Amino acid sequence: MKIIYGPVPSWRFGRSLGVDPICSVDKICSFDCVYCQLGRTKIKTMERKRYIDISQMKKELEIAEKRNIDAITFSGTGEPTLNLQLGEMIVFAKKFGFPVVVLTNSSLLSDKEVRKELCNADVIAAKLDAPNEDIFQKISKPTENQYFQEMLGGIKQLRTEFRGKLALQMMFVKSNKTHANEMAQIAREIRPDQVQLDTPLRKSAVPPVSISEMDEIEREFSGLPVISVYKSKKIETRPYDSEETRKRRP
């Protein structure tokens, strides 16, 4: 298994079988988020291309789906939407009958073709870690000429087109924890099916916010369908290949 990994215990999606559309030794992403568990982005790009052998991905998924899983999740060593074949991979994964989830940093959602491909998924978890340009640049550290309002516009457009479950994944750290009220107001504008309040509990260059701080943050999201990492149920599972899984989930 080189493309499929896990299952991993996900506080949001249960026993999650991962599909890595990038499969790079060095992280390839459009962001260089300060909290990323994979460390610094070695190749920062917005260019979409074919990163893996899709026939190999299909073979591995045919084998791996027989495990006890709750979802098939596209995530791994970079931003999934950078793969030009993501749409085809999503369609193939759906045939196994499990919810198909895509974790995206939202950077390419302004691209109509990317949104069209993602609309084949059952669940999209779109990242939104900032309320404005300044915080966006500090936390996400995007590629050059990538701006907050363009990304936010892409999320809002996806909301109008996607018929599945749209979740906003919000990672709280020191740089944005005092901006929870503003982020909650944006969430109310988007009207997601779920808001996922997270903080880096896995390996990270920045510390997590405390439980009490997360409780304060959660109060700002009153009236919204919220789940919080500190209140999540602990999931246990055993991966096929621990070494391959650790490459994506250290």
- Residue-wise pLDDT tens for the chain (250 aa)? 899 999 999 999 999 999 999 999 899 999 999 999 999 999 999 999 999 999 999 999 998 877 789 999 999 999 999 999 999 999 999 999 999 999 999 999 999 999 999 999 999 999 999 999 999 999 999 999 999 999 999 999 999 999 999 999 999 999 999 999 999 999 999 999 999 999 999 889 999 999 999 999 999 999 999 999 999 888 888 887 788 888 887 7
* Domain 4-232: top CATH class: alpha beta
Residue linked to tokens 């309320």: 131
Q: How many residues would you count in the chain?
A: 250
* CA dist 184 → 45, 161, 192 (Å): 29, 22, 11
Contact 121, 142 (CB under 8 A): no
Token pair recorded at residue 71:
């979802």
Is the torsion defined by CA of 187, 235, 118, 97 positive or negative?
A: negative
What is the value of pTM for the model shown? 0.95
| Buried residues in 181-204 as b, exposed as e (16+ CB within 10 A) | eebbebbeebebebbbbbbbeeeb
HSE-CB of 170 using CA atoms within 13 angstroms: 29
Q: CB–CB of 105/31 below 8 Å? A: yes
* Cα gap 22→77, rounded to integer Å: 6
Phi-psi region of 40 (alpha: psi -120 to 50; beta: other; left: phi over 0): beta
Please report which helix (H) or strand (E) contains residue 218, including its range. helix 211-220
